[in-house]
Structure 1
Amino acid sequence: MGAGHDHGSHGHNHGPGHVHGSANQRRLGIAALITAVFMVAEAIGGVLTGSLALVADAAHMFTDAVSLGFAWWAFRLAGADPTEKRTFGNRRLPVLVAFANAIAIFMITAFILIEAAERFQEPVTVLAGPMLVVAVAGLIANIVSFLVLMGGHKESLNVRGALIHVAGDLLGSIAAIVAAGVILATGWMPIDPILSVLVGLLILRSAIKLCRESGHILLEGTPAGLEPGRVRTVLEGHIEGVAAVRHVHVWALDENRPLITLNVVLEDDADGFRTIAAVKARIKSELGVDHTTVEIDPPDIGHGAQAPRGAAT
């Protein structure tokens, strides 16, 4: 009667959620393929025309192609059955991929900014006509990818994240078109590195957010709205038989799967099994968490140092 463990909906469900996952996987695959093809086209066009704006947009499209590809791959692997070595399966794989993608974006952004600084000092002649053609083709590709993803299941963070990336690509293509137009109209070459810097900063902003959110999960940070104090407030005084709630730990397996462990002290003559069930039911109804581990503490255990998480599982 010492501990109760609830896997809730961790069973293998192949109903509507599985259907949405398959559709989203297909949409991500199409968007990744389109982005990758036009990333190559823009990179070649940037080199041939001398346009840093095109190279910057190609770099942005590269990170997005990788992100979309890994998101597609993660959909394939995330549903794998748990094993003895991976009791949660591959549920955290998309988070790890997101963190690695953020690091790659930092490196590419640094390259763009350094190259732009060099071009401010030594301007490079840009072939604005071919640059405009390539930029327009890239814009069309980004619009197609955006429309493909718009039809995805909006509850999927993978799909919403992909939409944000493709929207960034749209802005990058627009920046390249504007740069080509300005050069054609005025011959003013500095517009190319100026707009490439703006695209680089756009990428950097997205990378910082991606790194912060994925790193928080990897470090087992507390999900927003599930702070231990709130968990105690939801339980204490609301569950018959619970005298105190201690050692609350909250973290997340991925963006959608929070987990809670906690210890409770029972009131005299309380039924342990019934109380554990009531604690889990209230956490699920009030906080939406369906994976909770509850351990019963004897009343004479002090309120001192927090027990390690392993003690509550």
Structure 2
Amino acid sequence: MMKIKVLIVDDDTLLSDEMAAFLSRNGYSVEQAQTLTEARSTVSAFAPDILLLDLKLPDGSGLDLLPEIRDKLPQTTIILLSGYGSIPEVVTAIKQGAEDFLTKPLDPDHLLLRLQKVQTHKQLSTRLKILELDWENQRQMIIGQSRKMQEVIKQSQAVAQGNTTVLISGETGTGKHLLAYYIHQNSPRSEAPFVYVNCATLSDQLLDSDLFGHEKGAFTGAVRQKEGRVELARGGTLFLDEIGELPITLQAKLLHFIEYGEFQRVGGTKTLRANVRIICATNRNLQQEIEQGRFREDLYFRINVVRVEIPPLRERPEDIPELFDFFLQKFCRELGKPLLNPQFDS
């Protein structure tokens, strides 16, 4: 599990050291700064999840830093600290983006409780951001009692227990997206995010930003820093649909990420890391794409560690009655009609 990063900005070195030691013992990753100047430098390098910010600093007010943090790191939670706090300062701080306000001296247990609440809120927010499958798709199960589909299900259940990359192949409409989600749901990562990316829908630059995020000013329209889907998928599964459509310019970057688990946002210089499992899907013949110079052979070997092929419906006609019944009941519920029980001749 990734540690929550806390930056303490306070010129009271004794108090700051005590807070840092206490939070470190409780599992947080902590950095310290004593001035606004030092804080600005540390914020850029450390990118804290939580900022504990003193109002009174040697080179200015902590309020001066608030707009900068909100602009550069909008997802950072800011908690102000002060022994001289006043109601007007609190109101100003809240208006400028602070989430909380604590007076010194701090009670360690109270501070820890506040941070735990912040952590819970951030985890819930992240979960909301990555729930891109609609509820109907999440309720669906893999349908098919034919021998071929049972083999697919058995293979998927087995591969779900590992962390190897998986390549799902099959014709359009065979359910590759649903099978990827099924593998995720049956894996040890099932409580973590499942993040979907369609490699065929965006231009090279936009897909790079969508996958790996971007820094403010990286290109026209990049008005603030943005996390990519790789970061949103931390601890979970990243599903790259239509991987055969991935631009050749991005294939090397994806290969590096698969090999080392590290990447850089567009326009950034800082190397970031994310622990995710990669599942890819394609309806293309990737070996032909390699021969024609449109797909990297080394990337192919990296994503094709385990391959699951979904047979088309014409090769498993015995599954048609079950599928017919599933969609019939689905549409009856959606239209508010009585559920039907069709009978099929054997």
Fold match by TM threshold 0.5: no
TM-score by structure 2 length? 0.28
